[in-house]
Structure 1
Amino acid sequence: MGARGRDIGGAHVRGRRRTAWGGRTAAVILALGLCGTGLLPAAAATAAPDPGTYAFAPGARPIDGTASPADAPRLDPGRVYRGSLPAHGRLTYRLDLADATATAYVPVTAVPPAHATVTSTDGIRVSVRDAHGTACSYATARFGAGLSPRPVTALAEREAGRALCQGAGRYSVLVERLDTGGTGTSAPWELEIAPALEPRLTSPAATGAPPSWDSASPEPLTGEARERGGGAGFATARPLGQGVWRTTLVPGRTQFYKVPLDWGRRLQASAELGGAPGHGYVGGALDLSLYDPVRGLADDASLGYTGVRRPVALAPLPPVEYANRFAAPAAVSALRFAGDYYLVLHLSDQLTATFGQGPYDVTLRVRVDGRAHSGPGYAGRPEPDGILTPSASDGPAMAVEGDGGAGAADHGGAGAGGPAGMRALAAGGIGLGTALLLVLGGWTLAARRAQTRVSAQKPTA
């Protein structure tokens, strides 16, 4: 009897569990349906992404560098690779160049874990070397005064026509991690490597200094800011044209934009960090960087912050011209070809301790001027195809189309952020919510009928 009683009790318990499970399931489905109809906030159904998340290029090939050039894996221009760099690591890759007249670029982006402890001098160094180990070029990228882990990119190259490293053949790419070994830096940093190839010109180019240009700082743009969130990586950078734009950032977040520039066009940009309650000072609180189409750093500016609304601006830059490559300053030399230029915003995670978790308003002012003209002709196709061609018109209308606001940055791209996407999402959500409510109604009716049948079968006293 006791055993049967326990069995019966177990059956009752299991029955109650089934009923409770069914109720919880119905509640979850109803909540999802209401999220789709807009009666509940979608944030209740989805967790916010990690502030430090970087959007690697879709389809990036896994690759493991080696300690020695002898067995180093090959990098093919036009492809994107993904790997990792251990603490105090040195990794080598192989670069086979069949064309002695083409210039090869190897940008490497290092992505440390979110919330890792870094110093201002931590970063990476990248160099391209010939078969004898002679460095053709090298570049470093460091985290800087913000003391905040963020994606940093260094570009090395094998430039045709220079004194060193000429001719076709095998070259090596050395990636070195520069770190002090402090707390939190022992974890590997992820890498994104995107080698590119620029073909020679159809006719020899003049090697003189670039043409003169107006280096005075322009008046900042005015007007009402429009919402425009950025992407979470180079591959998901959102298009941007001339105008005043607004986004929101939380400490540790990095946003990427791309501004198409044709030959003769010039970009000027500034970013303004909104005010916040609190007292103190954070060096390098907001970082604004500009990268060229092959991810070479053109300029970088950072803002010291006391809680008062303040702007930071890039240095005045020249128009895009082929001859800029023969100039000594990196800010001029990087403006060497037409294509998509990348504006990158990063908000230091050091803000949290002094001014709170945010989010913080950031206003981005972008001016594009200069007279566009035809550029020099290339004797072949660049790799990847289209990298040295602006992706779209650089007029203001380009940036307005598909504007999804700052929320699009949370998912690393435009996605469904535009008006059409939002309409489709709303329609889909309403349809899903309606269908779920009909299903729940059917379940309720069936349950009531079943209860009525059970009651009718009970014997009367």
Structure 2
Amino acid sequence: MGTGRWPTAWWRTAVRFAVTTALIGAVTGLPGVAAADGTATGSPGGYAFAPGARSVKGTARTTDAEQLEPGRTYRSSLARKATLYYRIDLTAPDTAYVPVTAVPPSDATVAATDGITVSVQDTHGTSCSYASARFGGGLSPHPVTALGMREAGRTQCQGAGPYYVVVERLDATASGSKSGSGSGSGGASSTEAWGLEIAPVTEPPRAKADGTAAPEDWDSASPEPLTGTRKERTGGAGFAGARSLGQGVWGTRVRPGQTLFYKVPVDWGQQLYATAELGNTTAGHGYVTGALGLALYNPVRGDVADAADGYTGRQTAAALDPLPPVEYANRYAVSGQVNAMRFAGYYYLAVHLGGQVAATFGDGPYELTLRVRVEGTPHAGPGYAGQSEPAKLFEVTAGDREAAITGEAPGSGTAMKALAAGGIGAGTLLLTGLGLWTLTARRRAAAQTRASAQNPTA
């Protein structure tokens, strides 16, 4: 085979392979990530890390800490008893948020007190914030998220420069608990490493300060539950693949050990209400503590509220307590739930069905219904003096509202358009190169044919 003269059949095969690979990747998703339409893929309990997340290694010393850039998503690992450090460089006026999601293996043994702590520290060792997240009484391994912060304008941790994100693993074994499954805290924890997803973001200051008083009056009454026809909307397997939801009654199926992620656009001045309902089953009998869990996270993945209920085989529900309208000034409130409703954007709903349900009532799947209500008239935001990282994180667009109705990505229009963006885009470079090489090969072959016709003795 001569240099630069590849057989036409080979090129056709290569192009077909590239197109098929790209389309399969778009439809099914790569291992461990969500498919192009945002639905959960893989085995129950599997978490879909953000596609393209950069690998970063946490270190035991601040001097070796690897840098995190706001607006990017990272993937790391947390061993048992470990305390890890990462570095983030901040400007003076920006507020930084560093959410860390811990993902234990789906077959791990966890205790109620297992989880992580996340803090942000300055170069003097002063703690700017401290937060923890634990698995709770359901004793079922699932993604848990804790948020570290450096808030500009506060009395400590001010100024530009390097800051350190500190992630520590909490588990019953490390705390000296005895072995065995037991009850209460759940006994000893298994020792596998947990995956970490880290997604630092920054929020710019306001162009004009308007005081620091939190809103005092808001409607805290629970509205009437939404009724109407249930519309099917499968959930995502992680924050990055969360499916959009608007106001309405939504349904899907969930298996024990699985966590489904949804996102709801909530604008400035709007209130969000959400309830998750688990349908009844005719198989098995007994009681599973904390079987159904519903958690709400704000646009920076900060914990807002959660609810849980046990399961006896009869229908049950977990409903979030009423939350205040989204307002910038909520950040000055003492209440953690009010404080977390501090900006517009996508609010995430994570629904988890405890793994213990399988042993008592079977593998399912089980019918899940979400009732979502968004009330209030949107108003203008606070007027930021700059852009967030990533951009436009704290706003709701017309495309976001459309996606909440259709379930597709903002601006996608149709499923095929999303397929093209997610799948074919992944193979764009390969296809472009193959196309150019194919065109060159065809022109070269045509030229050789013409030359042979003009000079048959050559």
Q: Fold match, TM over 0.5?
A: yes
Asked if structure 2 preserves the Cα contact closer than 8 Å seen for 1:402 and 1:419, the reply is no
Q: Deviations over 1:210-237 (max 9, x none)?
A: 2410101111101111101111111111
Give the Å deviation of 1:310. Answer: 1.4
**Structure with bigger gyration radius:** 1
Q: Deviations over 1:423-451 (max 9, x none)?
A: 99xxxxxxxxxxxxxxxxxxxxxxxxxxx
Alignment partners' CA distance in 2, 1:386 and 1:233: 21
Quick one: which of 239, 247, 269 aligns to 2:244? 239
Give the Å deviation of 1:289. Answer: 0.6
For 1:121, what is the secondary structure of its paired residue?
coil
Amino acid at match of 2:129: S
Give the Å deviation of 1:398. Answer: 4.1
**2:160 aligned with 1:155:** no
Quick one: which of 48, 56, 71 aligns to 2:49? 56
Amino acid at match of 1:70: T
Query: Partner residue of 1:15?
Result: none
Quick one: which of 276, 281, 285 aligns to 1:276? 281
Amino acid at match of 2:76: G
Give the Å deviation of 1:185. Answer: 2.2
Give the Å deviation of 1:393. Answer: 5.5
Alignment partners' CA distance in 1, 2:278 and 2:407: 25
Task: With the length of structure 1 as denominator, give the TM-score of the two structures.
Answer: 0.76
Give the Å deviation of 1:419. Answer: 6.5
Give the Å deviation of 1:392. Answer: 4.3
Alignment length (residue pairs) = 366
Query: Partner residue of 1:387?
Result: 393
Report the RMSD for the aligned CA atoms in angstroms.
2.3
Query: Partner residue of 1:95?
Result: 88
Give the Å deviation of 1:49. Answer: 2.1
Q: Deviations over 1:127-171 (max 9, x none)?
A: 001111111101001111111111110001000111121111111
Quick one: which of 294, 298, 304 aligns to 1:292? 298
Asked if structure 2 preserves the Cα contact closer than 8 Å seen for 1:77 and 1:383, the reply is yes
Change (3 A) 1:392 1:232: farther
- In structure 1, list runs of 5 or more residues that go unmatched: 1-47, 404-412, 425-461
**2:77 aligned with 1:84:** yes
- In structure 2, list runs of 5 or more residues that go unmatched: 1-40, 174-178, 180-187, 421-458
Identity of counterpart residues, as a percentage? 60
Query: Partner residue of 2:161?
Result: 169
Asked if structure 1 preserves the Cα contact closer than 8 Å seen for 2:100 and 2:199, the reply is yes
More helix by share: 1
Change (3 A) 1:163 1:385: same
Which aligned segments of 4 or more residues in structure 1 are displaced greater than 3 angstroms?
Answer: 391-395, 397-400, 416-424
For 2:220, what is the secondary structure of its paired residue?
coil
For 1:245, what is the secondary structure of its paired residue?
strand
Quick one: which of 343, 351, 355 aligns to 1:349? 355
Quick one: which of 199, 214, 223 aligns to 1:194? 199
Asked if structure 2 preserves the Cα contact closer than 8 Å seen for 1:241 and 1:394, the reply is no
Query: Partner residue of 2:446?
Result: none
**2:219 aligned with 1:226:** no
Alignment partners' CA distance in 1, 2:418 and 2:99: 35
Alignment partners' CA distance in 1, 2:195 and 2:234: 24
**2:382 aligned with 1:376:** yes
Change (3 A) 1:157 1:402: closer
Quick one: which of 111, 120, 124 aligns to 1:132? 124
Asked if structure 2 preserves the Cα contact closer than 8 Å seen for 1:221 and 1:244, the reply is yes
Give the Å deviation of 1:283. Answer: 1.0
Give the Å deviation of 1:53. Answer: 1.2
Quick one: which of 333, 341, 359 aligns to 2:339? 333
Change (3 A) 1:421 1:225: farther
Query: Partner residue of 1:69?
Result: 62
For 2:358, what is the secondary structure of its paired residue?
helix
Give the Å deviation of 1:174. Answer: 0.5
Alignment partners' CA distance in 1, 2:132 and 2:418: 41
Asked if structure 1 preserves the Cα contact closer than 8 Å seen for 2:101 and 2:145, the reply is yes
Task: With the length of structure 2 as denominator, give the TM-score of the two structures.
Answer: 0.76
Alignment partners' CA distance in 2, 1:101 and 1:196: 14
Give the Å deviation of 1:89. Answer: 0.9
Q: Deviations over 1:357-382 (max 9, x none)?
A: 11000110000011110011111110
Asked if structure 1 preserves the Cα contact closer than 8 Å seen for 2:243 and 2:407, the reply is no
Asked if structure 2 preserves the Cα contact closer than 8 Å seen for 1:119 and 1:180, the reply is yes
Alignment partners' CA distance in 1, 2:128 and 2:140: 31
Change (3 A) 1:273 1:373: same
